Chains A and B, each alone.
Chain A
Amino acid sequence: MRLAELIMALVMAVFSAYLMWKSAELPIGWIRDAGPGGGAFPFWLATGMLICCAAILYNWVRRRSPPSQSEDVFMDRESVQLVGVVAVALTLMIGAIHFIGVYFSLPIFMAFYMRFLGRHSWRLVSGFLILTPIVTFLFFEIALQKTLPKGFTEPLFYPLYDFFM
């Protein structure tokens, strides 16, 4: 926990510094008769972030905040495994949307989750495999008129577009 607190504060400090540098692309100073320039608002707030990181680090050294006193592990093996698998699966699912689209990526993710993490029966899993794309398509594309990304599977949907529109 102690180490995690330190790393997070350092990473956020670097992030704050980057934000300050990026904000400085616009005028950050005081323009006469008009108040602060366009970059001033984010610049000084990012400076505030950096100061907060310094305060968090100071508390870390003095062992004043609860995470900086705690000798517990930040995430034990089980947490890392559980959360890690889900986070990786999510990342892969979102990545796959670019190629195979929502209608294939999302059901595969759900089936993986239910079958391998939840150990539910194949009957239930296949039910979701079939229903998810249908419900998603009807709700978002037909009712809401919002096109979802389909990747190279787009041509498969042409007949459906013709049918509904």
Chain B
Amino acid sequence: MDIIHLLANGFLIAFEPLNLGLVIFGAGVGLFIGAMPGLGSVNGVAILLPLTFLVPPTSAVIFLGAIYYGAMYGGAISSIMLGIPGASTAVATTFDGRPMAMQGKADHALIAAAVASFVGGTISIILFTAFAPPLAETALAFGPPEEFALMLLAFATFVGLGGDDIPKTFFSIFVGLVLSAVGFDVVSGEPRLVFFDISGFSHGINFLVLAIGIYGIGEMLWTIDVSRGSVNMSKATVSVARTMEALKRIMKSWKTMVMGSFLGYFVGILPAAGATPGSLMAYGIAKSMAKDGKSFGKGNIDGVLAPESANNAASTGSMLPMLTLGIPGSPTTAILLGGMVMWGLEPGPLLFVNHTEFVWGLIASLYAANFFAVIINILFIPAFIAVLKLPFTILAPIIFGLCVVGGYVPTQDMHDVWLMLIFGIVGYLMRKLDYPLAPAVLAIVLGPIAERSMRQSLLGSHGDVMTFFDRPISGVIMVAAIILILMPLRKHLPFGRKKAAI
């Protein structure tokens, strides 16, 4: 009953006027960002993080968590109304959401998305509340070798499960890690990688510079490039009677939503998987589970419920490793984690011991964010549809402005703004060539922790590499990571090839 007691205390923190206000405001902002085609939770969190210096760290993380949630709800709006996913996480929602809208049932699809998101959010937070404390307790026994093994596992999931071009995935991880090493050597304190002796490099490369560069500037350039041409917006008629009718229909599909929630939650925990594959998998399973599988893709409401419950559940799932182990489960949580480090909160299991109020305040505020997001979403459906009409040429300069100022504020150095511009442009070009960029963002956040834990382990064992394998937990994680890394090589082995030939 300890958990209930802690959670109750968390609610007291979440319901403080400032925090509650930020939850409601954050959920609204998140919905808005999610609804804009091309912008998702990761862009919102990256661009707005510098603005949160205004409030104490706990409130800042609560605000960003609410944005994260709201954006997951909002993504469905443009998927349904425009047929363009509001974020990659809402891709699967277009499959049936768009056909529903074409048949004049846009309101049904929107309500289905909101309800499914709420169910996904609720189930996953309950799972989170149950899983987090025991996991954190186990993780308390972890030393540097386990920490390093976990980092390796996080990167290995990108290689083994990412499905992208393997050399490019590795490249992205390595670039992020090398960039994180700029500044000074953590052990000897000597300056390191200070390019051309420019003093701006001596304070290191702040993860926000890379995150805003890629998810702010790069993303906007990408959107400008791909979004030319006109889009067709569906009409939505909203009325109380139709809403009730939709709710009745949705209740019949509770199984689909529960399936999507559980699946999304567990897929979301893995760093490389997360909300996008989670929602696609949920869609696939819902389709094969259904008696009328053929109607999927033609406007089946289950085709909206499954991916929407999964993507919200996945966003909560990705918070689990971030808070308990200090390993982010998604690019958005990687940025949150970087923010926590900046605010002096060392992520990892000790958080549950030393900063109980922070942890439980955040968890309780996720319940609140979920609740407010569904209400704001359903009440303001017409307003969010209007958001889609907002011309991009007004939004884009505002976001560019926010990126530039936001890139400057953390270090107050113009050097970082230039670096951010370079990352943005190069990131955009690399994205066009199928280089995955999320691993780089994860790597620049985890890099310093990974290097420190590796070198601490080796100092402790007098340079003996076997220390990573001798300890049982670290050994198991290391082996799992190595298997994942070797997985893509399978088809290059003579044995694997023969099998493929048959």
How many residues of chain A have a CB within 8 Å of chain B?
69
| Residues on A with beta carbons closer than 8 Å to the beta carbon of B398 | 110
Q: Are A22 and B193 in contact (CB under 8 A)?
A: yes
Nearest chain B CB to A49's CB is how many angstroms away? 4
In angstroms, Cα B56 to Cα A5, docked, is 45
- Are B393 and A113 closer than 8 Å at their CB atoms? yes
By a CB distance below 8 angstroms, the chain A residues around B433 are 1, 4-5, 8, 67
Contacts of A65 in B (CB 8 A): 165, 168, 434
Please tell me which stretch of B21-29, B109-117, B181-189 contacts chain A, meaning at least 4 of its Cβ atoms lie within 8 angstroms of it: B181-189
CA A82 to CA B433, docked complex, whole Å: 19
Q: In the bound complex, do residue B412 and residue A98 qualify as a contact, i.e. CB atoms below 8 Å apart?
A: no
CB-CB nearest in chain A for B396: A113
Is there an interface contact between A67 and B434, defined as CB atoms closer than 8 Å?
yes
Contact of A130 with B by CB under 8 A: no
Q: How distant is A132 from chain B, measured CB to nearest CB, in Å?
A: 7
Determine if A45 and B414 form an interchain contact, defined as CB atoms under 8 angstroms apart: no
Q: Nearest A residue to B417 by beta-carbon distance? A: A94
Point out the residue from B195, B455, B462 that lies within 8 Å of A36, measured CB to CB: B455
- A47 vs chain B, min Cβ distance (A): 9
- B contact residues, range: 35 or more
Main secondary structure of the interface of B (DSSP, over half): helix
A109 at the interface (CB under 8 A from B): yes
Contact B193 A86 (CB under 8 A): no
CB of B421 within 8 A of chain A? yes
B-facing mask of A116-144, CB < 8 A → 1, else 0? 01111000100010001000100110011
A residues within 8 A CB of B459?
Answer: 34-35
Cβ of B393 and Cβ of A93 under 8 Å apart?
no
> Which of B221, B397, B434 touches A66 (beta carbons < 8 Å)?
B434
Q: Is B292 close to A, CB under 8 A?
A: no
Q: Which residues of B contact A5 (CB under 8 A)?
A: 433
Verify B167–A146 contact, CB threshold 8 A. no
Q: Does B236 reach chain A (CB closer than 8 Å)?
A: no
Given known pairs A109-B401, A114-B397, A118-B393, the reply for A79 and B170 (CB within 8 Å) is no
B2 close to chain A: CB less than 8 A: no
Could you say which residues of chain B place their CB within 8 Å of the CB of A152? none
Q: In whole Å, how far is A129's beta carbon from the nearest beta carbon of chain B?
A: 11
Complex CA–CA separation, A4 to B408 (angstroms): 32
Chain A positions 27-60 with a Cβ under 8 Å from a chain B Cβ: 30-36, 38-39, 41-42, 45-46, 48-49, 52-53, 55-56, 59
The majority secondary structure among interface residues of chain A is: helix
Q: Which of A39, A97, A144 sits near B54, CB closer than 8 Å?
A: A144
- Knowing A56-B171, A90-B400, the reply to whether A136 touches B405 (Cβ < 8 A) is yes
Quick check: is B469 within 8 A (CB to CB) of the other chain? no
CB pair B54–A143 under 8 Å, yes or no, is: yes
From B165, B393, B405, B455, contact of A148 by CB (8 A): B405
Q: Which residue of B lies closest to A27 (CB)?
A: B188
A42 touches B193 (CB 8 A): yes
Residue pair B192, A39 in contact (C-beta under 8 Å): yes
Considering the chains assembled together, what is the distance between the CA atoms of A117 and B175 in angstroms? 34
A147 and B412 form a contact (CB under 8 A) = yes
Give complex CA distance A139, B401 in Å: 14
Q: Which residues of A contact B462 (CB under 8 A)?
A: 33-34
Task: Say yes or no for B458: interface residue by CB 8 A criterion.
Answer: yes
Which of B53, B224, B393, B429 contacts A8 (CB under 8 A)? B429
Q: Are B53 and A146 in contact (CB under 8 A)?
A: yes
- Whether A30 pairs with B463 at a CB distance below 8 angstroms is yes
Contact B178 A19 (CB under 8 A): yes
A38 near B394 (CB under 8 angstroms)? no
Asked if B174 CB lies within 8 Å of chain A CBs, one says yes
Does B494 interact with chain A (Cβ within 8 Å)?
no
Give every chain B residue within 8 A of A117 (Cβ-Cβ).
Answer: 393
Within 8 A of A (CB), among B396-413: 396-398, 400-401, 404-405, 408-409, 412
Pick the contact of B397: A56, A91, A109, A149 (CB < 8 A): A109
A31 CB contacts on chain B under 8 angstroms: 463
- In the assembled complex, 20 residue pairs joining A and B whose CB atoms fall closer than 8 Å, in A order, are A1-B433, A4-B429, A8-B433, A22-B193, A23-B178, A23-B181, A33-B463, A35-B455, A36-B454, A38-B187, A41-B451, A45-B174, A79-B225, A97-B417, A102-B405, A113-B396, A146-B53, A148-B408, A149-B408, A149-B414
Chain B residues close to A by CB (< 8 Å) = 51, 53-54, 165-168, 170-171, 174-175, 177-178, 181, 185, 187-188, 190, 192-193, 195, 217, 220-221, 224-225, 228, 391-394, 396-398, 400-401, 404-405, 408-409, 412, 414, 417-418, 421, 425, 428-430, 432-435, 451, 454-455, 458-459, 462-463
Enumerate chain A interface residues (CB-CB to B < 8 A).
Answer: 1, 4-5, 8, 12, 19, 22-23, 25-26, 30-36, 38-39, 41-42, 45-46, 48-49, 52-53, 55-56, 59, 65-67, 74-75, 78-79, 82-83, 86-87, 90-91, 93-94, 97-98, 102, 106, 109-110, 113-114, 117-120, 124, 128, 132, 136, 139-140, 143-144, 146-149
Q: In the A-B complex, list the 8 residue pairs whose CB atoms are closest, starting with the nearest.
A: A118-B393, A35-B458, A38-B185, A55-B167, A52-B171, A113-B397, A42-B181, A110-B397
